[in-house]
């Protein structure tokens, strides 16, 4: 049996928060870490410190100043694809294959996503950013649906910028018109989930009637006391990986570290 600890974290600048990344990897003994919002070009990503810590396998899809995703691993990996969703190339996707991790004879793939936030106005007719978000999700659903007949075992992680369930936000009623929890976004994300009958790994361990957050705004003076969170960060798995995820945790203490990201890391423990 092969045990792997996988984590996803919107780091909000890899260069600025490399000390936090290194602390997290050491403290929580993560094997594979998927980062979003690295905010740098590939050649600017600080690889040396990660390699010194044993993360010798690094896949990057970065760009100048904004967005970008990275997957760093102790385990060998190969880049499968970097796909443009939503018609705008903003370095928001990276798919890798863990070459030594298999399920039913096929190597497991990990999709690392950073879905657009969508701006402040939940109206595609007047807000191009929101329109782009909806198109991005539509493209995701279409892309995965096309693979349904012969999809390899896959894990989808990242900041999807949508809290779909009522208990994924601090107040369902007050958040219904706020971008990240509007019905139109939730409906689009549901289409993505249905495209390959994805399993919501986090909610396999935390029932839907319990609150579960991964993000807390910088605006709150005391984020923990106010606890107005949202579950924007997700881990999904294709049905052939059902039962592989044995445990999960949201690393809330990291939200209080020095110069923190507004997202907490999310960890899943896997057994193959």
- The model's pLDDT over 29-59, given as tens digits with 9 standing for 90+, comes to 999 999 999 999 999 999 999 999 999 999 9
- Mean pLDDT of all residues in 149-175: 97
Tokens of 155: 């894990």
* CA pair distance 269, 29, nearest whole angstrom: 11
Whole-Å CA distances, 237 to 83, 202, 268: 19, 10, 11
> Which pTM value belongs to this model?
0.97
Q: Residue 8, by phi and psi: left (phi above 0), alpha (psi -120 to 50) or beta? A: beta
2: part of which helix (H) or strand (E)? none
CATH code at 3-271: 3.60.10.10
φ, ψ of residue 57 to 5 degrees: the values are -110, 110
Instruction: Kindly indicate the confidence band of residue 255, based on its pLDDT and cuts at 50, 70 and 90.
Output: very high
Please tell me what DSSP assigns to residue 75.
S
Residue 214 token pair: 């991964």
- C-alpha closest to that of 107 among 115, 117, 97: 97
Give residue limits of the domains in the chain: 3-271
Q: Quick one: what percent of the chain has pLDDT higher than 70?
A: 100
pLDDT of 149: 86
Q: 153 pLDDT band (50/70/90 cuts)?
A: very high
Question: Three-class SS of residue 193?
Answer: helix
With 90 as the cut, is the pLDDT of residue 168 above it? yes
Sheet holding 199-200, edge to edge: 77-81, 93-103, 106-114, 154-159, 233-237, 199-200
């Amino acid at each position: 049996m092969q045990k792997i600890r996988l984590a996803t974290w919107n780091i909000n600048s890899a260069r600025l928060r490399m000390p936090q990344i290194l602390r997290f990897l050491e403290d929580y003994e993560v094997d594979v870490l998927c980062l979003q919002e690295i905010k740098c070009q590939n050649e600017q990503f600080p690889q040396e410190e990660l390699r010194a810590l044993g993360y010798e396998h690094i896949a990057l899809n970065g760009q100048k100043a904004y967005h970008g995703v990275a997957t760093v691993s102790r385990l060998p990996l190969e880049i499968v694809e970097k796909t443009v969703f939503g018609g705008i190339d903003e370095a928001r996707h990276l798919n890798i294959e863990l070459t030594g991790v298999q399920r039913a004879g096929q190597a497991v793939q990990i999709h690392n996503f950073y879905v657009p936030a969508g701006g402040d106005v939940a109206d595609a007719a007047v807000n191009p950013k929101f329109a782009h978000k909806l198109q991005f999700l539509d493209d995701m659903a279409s892309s995965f649906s096309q693979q349904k007949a012969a999809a390899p075992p896959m894990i989808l992680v990242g900041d999807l910028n949508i809290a779909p369930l009522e208990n994924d936000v601090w107040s369902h009623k007050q958040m219904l018109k706020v971008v990240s929890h509007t019905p139109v976004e939730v409906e689009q994300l549901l289409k993505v989930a249905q495209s390959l009958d994805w399993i919501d790994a986090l909610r396999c361990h935390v029932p839907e009637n319990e609150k579960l957050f991964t993000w807390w705004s910088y605006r709150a003076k005391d984020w923990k006391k106010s606890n107005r969170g949202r579950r924007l960060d997700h881990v999904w798995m294709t049905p052939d990986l059902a039962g592989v995820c044995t445990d999960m945790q949201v690393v809330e203490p990291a939200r209080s570290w020095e110069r923190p990201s507004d997202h907490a890391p999310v960890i899943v423990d896997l057994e193959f």
